[in-house]
Chains A and B, each alone.
Chain A
Amino acid sequence: MQTSQQTKSVDSVEETRLAAQAINVRKTYGSGDTVVRALDDLTVSFERGTFHAIMGPSGSGKSTLLHCLAGLDDVSSGDVFLGGVNLATLTEQERTVLRRTAVGFVFQSFNLIPTLTAEENVLLPSRLGGQKMDPEWLATLVRTLGLEDRLTHKPGELSGGQQQRVAAARAFATRPDVVFADEPTGALDSISGGSLLAFMREIVEKHEQTVVMVTHDPTAASYADRVVFLADGRIIDELSDPTADKVLDRMKTLGSHS
């Protein structure tokens, strides 16, 4: 896999600086009169070592964008690069391997295999690839996320917040190019949600990791370094070093725009 990834990578300094990139991406559903444009000629880049948030109203295409960036869904046209690899050039098998090595996921809920312990869930991607996980890195993640006492528990024995933290540890386990998080705090109370995001922020800062998070919660977005606003499948605005209030303001203005 290593060699094929290298040959398929785009050879430029710009690309290696970026963890993920979408160029002129379109995603349409249906055809003819009933065609729905989920993503409409969208171009966006996500730098490494940064915590990105994607915001937008329902139906703006933010989840679709996330799925396309992660290789879970195909684009209708345009290119998606992940860690410098053009997803369009990969077979399904190669994409699976890429998901295992270059991407991490945190979903809103149901992130863990109920039959495996917390630790086994964290180790799952490496084990699927037949690799041993770096023990130091595992220790770091466990410590940062406060999971020391929870490793031998099954998901059913953990609180919602703990489950999401295990999911986060799993997502960062392979030191992926990007961790995609789809409303990771959506099912949590504000305290658990806040601590999860704080942990993720800490990992991004201290260990040069990249997170792209979809959210509709301004407070959640305030943990990010950068917020991208989406509407009707297009990037309509961007905000750096956001606070919750700034995000809320921006959303209000955008809301009155449309």
Chain B
Amino acid sequence: MIRATLKSILGHKMRFALTTFSIVIGVAFVSGSFVLTDTLSETFDNLFKDILSDVDVSVRKATDEAFDDMMMQMPDPFSDEALAVVQGVEGVAQAEGAVQGMGTYVTPEGEQIVFEMAPALVMAWHEIPELAVFEILEGVSPTENGQVVIDSGTAEDYDLEIGETLGVAAKLALEDFEIVGIAESPGQGAMMGAKFAFLSRQEAQRMLEVDGQFHQISVVKTDDVTREELRDRIQADLGSEYEVLTGDQATEEMTEQLGQGLGYFKSFLLVFALIALFVGTFLIVNTFSIVVAQRSRELALLRAIGASRRQVRLSVVAESALVGLLAGFLGLFGGIVVAGLLRGLIGIIGIDLPSGSNVIALRTVILSFVVGIGVTVVSAVMPALKASRVSPIAALRGEGFTARHSSGRRVVTGVFIILFGLVLLFLGLFADTFNPLVFIGFGAAGLFVGISVLGPFVVRPAITAISRPAMSRAGVPGTLGVVNAQRNPRRTASTAAALMIGLGLSLFVLVFGDSFKASASKAIDETFAGDFMLQRGSDTGGPPLPFSPHLAEEVQKVEGVYAAVGLRGQPNMAGIGGPWVYEEEHSKAVIGVSFADVEKGINFKVLEGEVSEDNPGLLVHDAEAEEFGWLLGDTVKMQFPTAERELQIKAIYEDSRALAGAKYVMTSEIFDEVFPNGQDMFAFVILDDGVDIEVVRQRIEQAAESYPGIRVQDQNEIKEDQRDQIDQLLGLILVLLVLAVFISALGIVNTLALSIFERTREIGLLRAVGMTGFQLRRMITWESVLVSLLGAMLGALSGIFLAWAVMQALAEEGFSEFSIPVVSTVIFFVLSAVLGVLAAVFPARRAAKVDVLSAVTVE
């Protein structure tokens, strides 16, 4: 039997190659995701160790444990008196305070160096050499006012030299500094493209507005204590307001946080790997079904000469296992290529990942083979069962299988799977489940599988409908293409279904993205507070960056400006706004705003209470108030990372994008107290009545010049901006989905090639009665295009439905506008047709090569 299996594989190399390839892509994506993240994780580990090896103990402001799970925040500053305390502890050889914050640099040519996926930092230079992460490569260290040292990467990228002037802005506005040195770090790779400007400690404190404060203290111990002993001593002397860590703990913590980040990244990649594998599954099921059908006589013959059902079944499963084994093997190594490609893709976005030799963990190897073999064998089980049902007598009668499934059973199965998928989908969308994404994912998968089960019923009418507009001009090749696409509805349906998944998800992304854009535009229309909005961000998009609160103050002074309202926040995992926790379990985001400014004109609707400068406190979104049963005047206990406050609810408001979607707003004075690192995320500018808008705009832009990266935008520009940003994200996701579409296109190639093999005699006959090679190619192209358009149609329906469903679930978050992008959808169908044409190239060429004579003289 094994020999028969091998023979079968070798006999159909092309089919074998295509089937294997479809799984290789999926496996490669899985192993690539692991290889890349493992490699990064190990590289970062080593780099962190390099950077932190000399720091024995480090001290920072203690953060409430409720915030342990949140991503790394910039630590809050604390008084420099702590340094004196640390220096007084026995066992401390040297200790030094550090400050750091985000900034922007401006080159002598006026080019702005802003946060582009990796931050531009402003830091104090370490005076104690043991603690210095960076070493001077050229020039001297910054010891005097007006001096700056930059990292060698930035110097190289922007062609900066010693002696040149660099503009630096942080919390204070732009000031000129002289570049006196260029520094390099052994751990440069771990910085992921972060940029550094080192100032003297006093200058850094001044620019970051943390005079007399530090963000962190690094300690070198004497030889007679261990790190742990020293940590405990310092902790005892400083008290619980501070958190003291050994260097090893600090390294571990960074590694852990990074691991978390890489974990998200890996999950994101694995989603696409799963989609690719899912599509590959369809392809394999289809291929093996066709192959089994074609081999039915051969299998029946095997049965007739004494092979048991089990042996027949095994021979099919064994073939699939071999395909899986090879796919696992190739996929594993393909993973290294994929890892490289992903790295390149990330590089394009602007993140420099440190390079290291690829880490191929045993886990990755095992997983590749398990996934490769598992997916293939599971896919082949159904066809194998079918194969074993062939009766020995069938070989003598020369017939294959008669379809045993009644169509009634198929309908029931299909409808059941669809309903099951819908239930999962809606549970994921509307119910409180442990992991909504998993529910949604399986729900969508169920929907796709159900549609493909029901597919055969729609093939005939759908193909007729799709082809109708073109048929009058398509001639005989067109007619035959239509007929061929309809002759085996199951085969056509499952081939189209594979395509449906990739195309459906693409259209889902397109429709969802378009709705997102429409909703955002509408929200901006409804809530855009004034005439202009100030935002900081790089030209390449990305999230809005915080900027100095001084900007709004400056703009307020501009002639013709009625009000400039800054919205205080800091970016974090809970949203844009400072994180806080209610009752130790609900993590929320809060923004700060001057109540005086609100009175003046932020466009949001207060339902109860009133906002007044003289009455500082908390403003709450009505849905939140309802959820927690708060009433106007209630006091809410808010736990912030390093502080705790009890605030009274002064007003309850309706949802408003003007507040960046924030559900909680507090007076900016309180915000600044509890979030010393807080900065403005947005600022609205309202002009006086009757002023020349363009003139005032120029004045505002002039005022903003000292705050590099600030963009002054009106309502339409903001919308445009938002659309661009959404488009960019959509683009990235679509690129990753192309993979799934590509695999399903292979499915068309495979199915066509197998069908053509099956119809060799028929093709020969057509040639004999006068069909030209060109007409033959057109016939096959028609069939391919129709299958692919059927896939596109099913994909469009399911994709639009999914987008609609998700929109319903997100309606509360402001996704109110359901919008189908007409142009994109038309392009989508055109591209699907093109895909069909391309998929037909190889099979059609093969068909055209069919020898007329051998086709008509078989037997």
Is A111 touching B853 in the complex (CB atoms < 8 A)?
A: no
Checking A73, A92, A96, A113 against B770 with a beta-carbon cut-off of 8 angstroms, the contacting residue is A96
Chain B residue contacts of A124, Cβ below 8 A: 476, 766, 769
Is B761 touching A96 in the complex (CB atoms < 8 A)?
A: no
Chain A residue contacts of B761, Cβ below 8 A: 110
Is B770 touching A101 in the complex (CB atoms < 8 A)?
A: yes
Is A97 touching B770 in the complex (CB atoms < 8 A)?
A: yes
If A96-B773, A124-B476, A128-B775 touch, whether A113 touches B766 (CB-CB below 8 Å) is: yes
Is A100 touching B857 in the complex (CB atoms < 8 A)?
A: no
Chain A residue contacts of B766, Cβ below 8 A: 113, 124
**A105-B667 Cα distance, complex, nearest whole Å:** 93
Chain B residue contacts of A99, Cβ below 8 A: 767-770
- B residues 643-678 near A (Cβ < 8 Å) are none
**A93-B771 Cα distance, complex, nearest whole Å:** 10
Chain B residue contacts of A63, Cβ below 8 A: 857
Is the C-beta of B353 less than 8 angstroms from some C-beta in chain A? no
Is A128 touching B853 in the complex (CB atoms < 8 A)?
A: no
B578 to chain A, nearest CB (A): 69
Q: Mark B757-789, 1 if CB is under 8 A from A, else 0.
A: 000011001111111110100000000000000
Q: Which residue of B has the minimal Cβ distance to A107? A: B856
Most buried by A among B475, B769, B773: B769
If A72-B852, A96-B773, A115-B484 touch, whether A105 touches B475 (CB-CB below 8 Å) is: no
B185 to chain A, nearest CB (A): 70
Chain A residue contacts of B853, Cβ below 8 A: 67, 72-73
Is the C-beta of B258 less than 8 angstroms from some C-beta in chain A? no
**A204-B480 Cα distance, complex, nearest whole Å:** 31
Is B762 touching A125 in the complex (CB atoms < 8 A)?
A: no
Chain B residue contacts of A97, Cβ below 8 A: 770, 772
Q: Which residue of A has the minimal Cβ distance to B484? A: A115
B440 to chain A, nearest CB (A): 41
Is A113 touching B475 in the complex (CB atoms < 8 A)?
A: no
- A residues 180-228 near B (Cβ < 8 Å) are 182
**A186-B738 Cα distance, complex, nearest whole Å:** 53
Is A100 touching B475 in the complex (CB atoms < 8 A)?
A: no
Is the C-beta of B600 less than 8 angstroms from some C-beta in chain A? no
Checking B480, B484, B767 against A96 with a beta-carbon cut-off of 8 angstroms, the contacting residue is B767
Is the C-beta of A246 less than 8 angstroms from some C-beta in chain B? no
A98 to chain B, nearest CB (A): 8
Is B483 touching A116 in the complex (CB atoms < 8 A)?
A: yes
Is A115 touching B483 in the complex (CB atoms < 8 A)?
A: yes
If A93-B772, A96-B773, A129-B770 touch, whether A113 touches B856 (CB-CB below 8 Å) is: no
Is the C-beta of A127 less than 8 angstroms from some C-beta in chain B? yes
Q: Mark A31-73, 1 if CB is under 8 A from B, else 0.
A: 0000000000000000000000000000000010001000011
Q: Which residue of A has the minimal Cβ distance to B486? A: A115
A133 to chain B, nearest CB (A): 13
Is A111 touching B770 in the complex (CB atoms < 8 A)?
A: no
Q: Which residue of B has the minimal Cβ distance to A114? A: B762
**A105-B856 Cα distance, complex, nearest whole Å:** 10
Is the C-beta of B487 less than 8 angstroms from some C-beta in chain A? yes
Chain A residue contacts of B771, Cβ below 8 A: 96, 100, 128
Is B773 touching A128 in the complex (CB atoms < 8 A)?
A: no
Is the C-beta of A170 less than 8 angstroms from some C-beta in chain B? yes
Q: Give the bracket for the number of chain A residues in contact with chain B.
A: 20 to 34
If A72-B853, A115-B483 touch, whether A127 touches B765 (CB-CB below 8 Å) is: no
- B residues 824-859 near A (Cβ < 8 Å) are 852-853, 856-857
**A73-B476 Cα distance, complex, nearest whole Å:** 25
- B residues 472-514 near A (Cβ < 8 Å) are 475-476, 480, 483-484, 487
- A residues 100-151 near B (Cβ < 8 Å) are 100-101, 105, 107, 110-116, 124-125, 127-130
Q: Which residue of B has the minimal Cβ distance to A112? A: B765
**A21-B129 Cα distance, complex, nearest whole Å:** 103
Is A100 touching B852 in the complex (CB atoms < 8 A)?
A: no
If A115-B484, A128-B476, A130-B475 touch, whether A170 touches B772 (CB-CB below 8 Å) is: no
- A residues 73-105 near B (Cβ < 8 Å) are 73, 92-93, 96-97, 99-101, 105
**A112-B764 Cα distance, complex, nearest whole Å:** 11
Chain A residue contacts of B487, Cβ below 8 A: 114-115
A153 to chain B, nearest CB (A): 15
**A63-B858 Cα distance, complex, nearest whole Å:** 13
Q: Which residue of B has the minimal Cβ distance to A110? A: B761
**A107-B764 Cα distance, complex, nearest whole Å:** 12
A5 to chain B, nearest CB (A): 15
Is A72 touching B476 in the complex (CB atoms < 8 A)?
A: no
Checking A96, A113, A182 against B772 with a beta-carbon cut-off of 8 angstroms, the contacting residue is A96
B111 to chain A, nearest CB (A): 63
Chain B residue contacts of A93, Cβ below 8 A: 772-773
Checking B476, B767, B772, B773 against A127 with a beta-carbon cut-off of 8 angstroms, the contacting residue is B476
**A107-B855 Cα distance, complex, nearest whole Å:** 11
A190 to chain B, nearest CB (A): 21
**A72-B853 Cα distance, complex, nearest whole Å:** 6
**A97-B769 Cα distance, complex, nearest whole Å:** 9
**A96-B475 Cα distance, complex, nearest whole Å:** 17
**A114-B761 Cα distance, complex, nearest whole Å:** 11
Is A110 touching B765 in the complex (CB atoms < 8 A)?
A: yes
**A112-B765 Cα distance, complex, nearest whole Å:** 8
Q: Which residue of A has the minimal Cβ distance to B772? A: A96
If A63-B857, A72-B852, A73-B853 touch, whether A113 touches B765 (CB-CB below 8 Å) is: yes
A114 to chain B, nearest CB (A): 7
Is A127 touching B856 in the complex (CB atoms < 8 A)?
A: no
Chain B residue contacts of A182, Cβ below 8 A: 857
Is A128 touching B856 in the complex (CB atoms < 8 A)?
A: no
Is A72 touching B762 in the complex (CB atoms < 8 A)?
A: no
Chain A residue contacts of B768, Cβ below 8 A: 72, 99, 105, 107
Checking B762, B773, B775 against A113 with a beta-carbon cut-off of 8 angstroms, the contacting residue is B762
- B residues 730-774 near A (Cβ < 8 Å) are 761-762, 765-773
Chain A residue contacts of B770, Cβ below 8 A: 96-97, 99-101, 125, 128-129
Checking B483, B762, B769, B852 against A128 with a beta-carbon cut-off of 8 angstroms, the contacting residue is B769
Chain A residue contacts of B483, Cβ below 8 A: 115-116
**A130-B478 Cα distance, complex, nearest whole Å:** 13
B196 to chain A, nearest CB (A): 71
**A115-B775 Cα distance, complex, nearest whole Å:** 17
**A124-B772 Cα distance, complex, nearest whole Å:** 13
**A100-B475 Cα distance, complex, nearest whole Å:** 15
**A113-B487 Cα distance, complex, nearest whole Å:** 12
**A187-B599 Cα distance, complex, nearest whole Å:** 97
**A92-B766 Cα distance, complex, nearest whole Å:** 15
If A72-B852, A72-B853, A111-B765 touch, whether A92 touches B484 (CB-CB below 8 Å) is: no
**A111-B855 Cα distance, complex, nearest whole Å:** 11
Most buried by A among B773, B775, B857: B857
**A100-B774 Cα distance, complex, nearest whole Å:** 14
If A72-B852, A72-B853, A73-B853 touch, whether A105 touches B769 (CB-CB below 8 Å) is: yes
**A182-B853 Cα distance, complex, nearest whole Å:** 12
Is B475 touching A127 in the complex (CB atoms < 8 A)?
A: yes
Chain A residue contacts of B476, Cβ below 8 A: 124, 127-128
B766 to chain A, nearest CB (A): 7
**A105-B770 Cα distance, complex, nearest whole Å:** 10
Is B773 touching A92 in the complex (CB atoms < 8 A)?
A: yes
A-B contact pairs, 19 of them (CB 8 A): A67-B853, A67-B857, A72-B852, A72-B853, A96-B772, A96-B773, A97-B770, A97-B772, A99-B767, A99-B770, A105-B856, A107-B856, A110-B762, A110-B765, A113-B766, A115-B483, A128-B769, A128-B771, A170-B769
Binding site for A on B (CB under 8 A): 475-476, 480, 483-484, 487, 761-762, 765-773, 775, 852-853, 856-857
In the A-B complex, the 10 residue pairs with the smallest Cβ-Cβ separation, listed nearest first, are A100-B770, A115-B483, A99-B770, A96-B772, A127-B476, A125-B770, A72-B853, A128-B770, A125-B769, A128-B476
Beyond the given A72-B768, A92-B773, A99-B770, could you list 14 further A-B residue pairs with CB under 8 A, ordered by the A residue number? A67-B857, A72-B853, A96-B772, A100-B769, A107-B765, A107-B768, A107-B856, A111-B765, A116-B480, A128-B772, A129-B770, A130-B475, A170-B769, A182-B857
